[in-house]
Amino acid sequence: MTQQANSVAKMQQSTGGGGLKGRITEPAVKTKDPKGTSRRVWNYMEKQKVGLLLSIVLVIFSSLLSLLGPYYIGVIIDHYIIPKNVSGTIKMAGLLFGIYGAASLFIWLQAFIMVNVSLKTIGTLREDLFEKLQTLSLRFFDRHKHGDLMSRFTNDIDSLHQALSQSVIQIISAILTVTGVAIAMFSLNWVLAIVSFATIPFMIFATRKIVGVSRKNFSSRQKDLGELNGFIEESISGGEVVTLFGREKEMFAEFDVINERLRHSAMRADMFSGYLGPVNNFLSNIGLGLVVVIGAVLVLKDITTVGIIASFVTYSRQFSRPINQLSTLFNSIQAALAGAERVFETMDEVPDLQDKKDAAAVGKFRGDVEFIDVHFGYSEEKRVLKNLHFKAKAGEMIALVGPTGSGKTTMINLLMRFYNVSSGKILIDGKDLQDYKIKDLRQRIGIVLQDPYLFSGTVMENIRYGRLNATDEEVIEAAKTASAHGFIKHLPDQYHTMITSTGANLSQGQKQLLSIARAILADADILILDEATANIDTRTEVEIQKGLRNLTKEKTSFVIAHRLKTIEEADRILVMKNGELIEQGSHNELLSRRGFYYGLYAKQLRI
């Protein structure tokens, strides 16, 4: 099928496609389920079991080595430094250096492996998200700004990557360290152990309170970030219009409002999450002070030793360090959960267009098309098409004319099954549209839009998009039929010339010629031409009309036209107004009736 990718994004911009206006609805309400989101992220991570298991093994080794260090510090003080055993002290210092060196090596290795695990996990998630978007209908894209959807692919997923590569292993390490330190401290001196843990309930209480407030702020921050990206994407895409109407100041003012809203939500999120580290650090220092004071009393009473106190001080630091690290990571964890929630929200969207279980495959259409009492509205309140009834026989050219907003483009959207009819039926070859497989249906219908869309790539690749298995010779033949071969030969690398983003290095007419060549190559059974020659100069239009006649020969075609002179040879002209079919017939028949079509034609040609 031709131009399927751009038909989704560009159909709504077609002149005369007023039926697509005014249908943006409010975004779906986001659910807040951190536990459920975490489980779904973990389901993706489980696919990297080997890397995860290796990282966990390395965490266990590094945590055990880190626990040995403080113990040997106490041993060195009590048994080597105080007795002034220099050679023993040097040997033990070497052992201590080896322990901490090995622990550092294991920590580096586990970080390296986790980055790899995170990247593979994120890659799979991004693939699933992109695949999901391919299944969603225009109705979904109507409700979401393109920039916001792009933000889910970039900012939201990147936030998740940062959290996965850092926090997962640190959480496991924290659990092992806290458990190991607790056991070691109780084995050395249960009184000092209890003193060290006295502040833990206060730390847990503070963490829960701060987490509860911060989570909402991080969700708001991600939402505002998506909105800002959406606005930026629109302002860049519509840059020419902004400049044309001199609205730069107004655009900046609107940007400033959205940007300021993002700044406030980000500041609230970071400010509240930032409380966690200092509060826990303060409580940790109180616990450390109690250990030193009470430990000194025990040493004076010969209940414990200086080395044990030194070990306790180090263990106390090790005990509080994981909690403080988690406090520092809290910012990225909350941002990651908020971003992941937005990603999964998109992935949970249920496509409103799906194949029936017994949907029929399409090899080729004969080309009979019939609309039977079709009604349609983008919302229940506003009907765009009303009681539409007509039949197009195979091989006929049907022209659609009418004022902007009359429903012409909406008819095409329904025929392509970008939307389902609200009531009535659309038949192709006597069979309901919904009884065909969607992909097959769209592959047998070709479109040439008024505003063509080209992808970054070569001229050859853009034409071949109409039929990916076409040979180079077939591509060139299609270009000749579309009268595009002439200008292509004069490009720097001819068919291998690279086209920049959206075809900015080509004229509008040249882009349209490539679009027509793409449609010719697709060799579809039913064709839709949306003012296909509107951007072509008069001389080229003569050649294009000849190519289009060859293209539409013996094929059913629907032509949306505003220059009525171009559709005089149509087999039948359907005249639309306010979503209703008010007249139909040949060009001469409609002129003889002196009705609405006659008025349009007379106004254009001033007769």
Sequence ranges of the domains in the chain? 29-347, 359-444+526-532+559-607
Q: What is the mean pLDDT of each run of 10 residues along the chain (607 residues)?
A: 38 33 34 73 83 86 84 82 84 87 88 86 85 78 74 79 77 80 82 79 75 71 77 70 69 83 80 72 77 80 79 76 67 76 81 79 86 84 85 88 84 86 88 86 82 82 86 88 84 86 73 84 84 63 64 79 79 88 88 87 72
pLDDT of residue 178: 80
pLDDT of residue 8: 33
pLDDT of residue 228: 81
CATH superfamily of 359-444+526-532+559-607: P-loop containing nucleotide triphosphate hydrolases (3.40.50.300)
User: Which of 41, 251, 281, 236 has its CA nearest to residue 145?
Assistant: 236
pLDDT of residue 18: 34
The DSSP string of 237-304 is: HTHHHHHHTT-HHHHHHHHHHHHHHHHHHHHHHHHHHHHHHHHHHHHHHHHHHHHHHHHHHHHHTTSS
> Do 573 and 401 contact (CB within 8 A), yes or no?
yes
pTM score: 0.61
pLDDT of residue 548: 66
pLDDT of residue 324: 64
Query: What's 152's DSSP letter?
Result: I
Identical fold, 29-347 and 359-444+526-532+559-607: no
Q: The domain 29-347: what is its CATH number?
A: 1.20.1560.10
pLDDT of residue 505: 75
How wide is the angle at C-alpha 177 spanned by C-alphas 173 and 178, nearest 5°?
120
